[in-house]
Amino acid sequence: MSTMFQNGEISRRRGATSEDQEFSEAAGAPSDEQTGGFRGALARLVASPLADYFLVLVSAGLLVVLGVFMVLSSSSVYAEANMGNPYYFFIRQIIWLFVGIPMAWWMSRRSENFLKLSGWVVVGGAVLAELLVLFTPLGVPPSGISDKGNRNWLYIGGQSLQPSEFAKLGLILWASGVLANRTKTLDQPKRLFIPFVPVFAVILGLVLVGGDLGTAIIIGFIMFCLLWFAGAPIWTLLLMLACGAAGAGAMIVSAPMRMQRVEAFLSGSSTVGSSEQPLNALYALATGGWWGVGLGASRAKWGGLYDGALNDYVFAVLGEELGLLGTLTVIALFLVLGAAGLRVALKSDRVFWRLASAGVTAWLVGQACMNIAMAMKLLPVVGVPLPFISYGGSALLADLLGVGVLLAAARHEPRAREALAAPGPKPEPVRVSTVLGRKG
């Protein structure tokens, strides 16, 4: 699959292929009777120049709307018990949403050069912010805020921010710009590893020092996917997998809490001292049945999932309240988002847009798969939010900015560029008649 992202393959794909001919025929707008009714209409819709743009927009938009309702439902009990206001987290999530949507729209209109520069700025800012988190009082949570033993939040002026969430997007943009200039030299270790791997290693190291293994796994996954899509040699990818597995194993063995989580996962039940949340998440999903118990009627959020109901285990609450239909809807929306993102990557004729769209897609869909698998007890607890749906301002804003990058890449597809650049119908010329009076 990675070879499809090579320059030579893309140049061959730019010729007159049968797929392009099908797109051209669909663009001729034949009638429904000629193309098979509904199937023909669907084929024309998918083949339209801006189809991927709207697929990304609609799937992400529906996930955001569903996320708003789930934050309202899943956080109400915890917010009332700890903040004295059942709408505390919901209001904060709405504020972040009102900030994130205009920024995502603005990001979707940015150029390639701007996003390349943004990658450098965001990565540099993330490194600085992580240093402030780890080595200054700004990383110490105020009284009453639990950090669960981790140190990965920046507290400024009564607000909190998680720099590692923005580091994911920054690394994708920065690495896409770097690799775009090196596709022909990726078989040379020096050109491949420097500065790509050292910069990722710095961010990974800072995140791991803060104790956030889940985010570190996602960043490592992003690094692996970017190299895969760029066409890096298979031996380098295998070496990275081995090093990543060894590092994750060392982090798990060195932390008793992580060992308890792994033991609970392997045994199928909770061990002494470990959390009951994984089993309660399974019970919540099972309770939901086909149609769910109703929005807002979850029982697991009243104590079984505690604070995990609004972030790590929000998928379990969703399954309990909306049933199998709700969970399958969420999975389907992420599949549509993933398919649209890969379509954007495959159709792009610029290496940067290909890698950026593929990287963002891998990040959002990969993180969603990890969270859902954790809620279904298919993976040990790793503590990563479900994109667009879990509570968290930093995560939501970063996710929306990632969607903005996907939309920008979709707008830069060859056929989309032509459609957007095509002049619209010319207006009728305005005729102005003037009556000049004569001097008497």
Cα three-residue angle 118-237-165, rounded to 5 degrees:
35
Q: For residue 32, what pLDDT band results from cuts at 50, 70 and 90?
A: very low
Give the per-residue pLDDT at 302: 87
For 263, residues 6+ apart whose C-beta sits below 8 A from its C-beta are 271, 274
pTM of the model: 0.84
pLDDT value of residue 213: 85
What integer is the mean pLDDT of 235-263? 76
Q: Averaged over 351-378, what is the pLDDT?
A: 94
Given this model, what pLDDT does residue 336 score? Answer: 96
**Per-residue pLDDT at 33:** 46
User: How high is the pLDDT of residue 275?
Assistant: 64
pLDDT of residue 423 exceeding 80, the answer is: no
List of long-range contacts for 254-261, beta carbons under 8 Å, 24+ apart: 255/211, 257/149, 258/213, 258/380, 261/380, 261/381
- Residue 28 has a pLDDT of 43
Mean pLDDT on 230-259: 78
Query: What mean pLDDT comes out for the span 274-295?
Result: 85
- Read off the pLDDT band of 431 (50, 70, 90): low
- Res 66 pLDDT > 90: yes
300: confidence class by pLDDT, cuts 50, 70, 90: confident
Highest mean pLDDT pick, 7-16, 25-34, 266-275, 277-286 = 277-286
Window from 66-80, 131-145, 334-348 with minimum mean pLDDT: 131-145
Residue 266 pLDDT level (bands cut at 50, 70, 90): low
Average pLDDT over all residues of the chain: 82
pLDDT value at position 14?
A: 40
Q: What is the pLDDT of residues 155-203, one digit of tens each?
A: 887 788 999 999 999 999 999 999 888 777 766 777 777 888 899 999 9
Report residue 340's pLDDT band, with 50, 70 and 90 as the boundaries. Answer: very high
Question: 210-224, 234-248, 386-400 — which is least confidently predicted?
Answer: 234-248
The one-letter amino acid at 132: L
144 — pLDDT class (breaks 50, 70, 90): low
Q: What is the pLDDT of residue 428?
A: 54
Quote the pLDDT of residue 272: 41
- Beta-ladder partners of 156: 159
Residue 41: pLDDT over 60 = yes
pLDDT (0 to 100) of residue 158: 76
Q: How far apart are CA 277 and CA 172, in angstroms?
A: 33
Confidence of residue 268 (pLDDT cuts 50, 70, 90): low
Say if residue 358's pLDDT is above 90: yes
- Alpha-carbon distance of 315 to 311, in angstroms, equals 9
What number of CA atoms fall less than 13 Å from residue 130's CA on the CB side?
A: 24
CB atoms within 10 A of CB 279: 16
Closest Cα to residue 104, out of 410, 405, 408, 404? 404
Cα separation, 280 vs 267, whole angstroms: 15
CA distance 69 to 328: 17
- pLDDT confidence of residue 180: 87
Q: What is the mean pLDDT of residues 145-163?
A: 78
Q: Does the structure show a pLDDT above 80 at 256?
A: no
Residue 234's pLDDT is what? Answer: 86
Q: Is the dihedral of CA 230, 232, 234, 239 positive or negative?
A: negative
Return the percentage of the chain with pLDDT > 90, whole number. Answer: 47
Encode burial over 183-222: b for 16+ CB neighbours within 10 A, e otherwise.
Answer: beebeeeeebeeebbebbeebbebbbebbbbbbbbbbbbb
Does position 235 have pLDDT exceeding 50, yes or no? yes
Model confidence at 37, pLDDT cuts 50, 70, 90, reads confident
Angle between helix 314-347 and 351-375 (nearest 10): 160
Cα angle vertex 225, ends 222, 230, to 5°?
Answer: 125
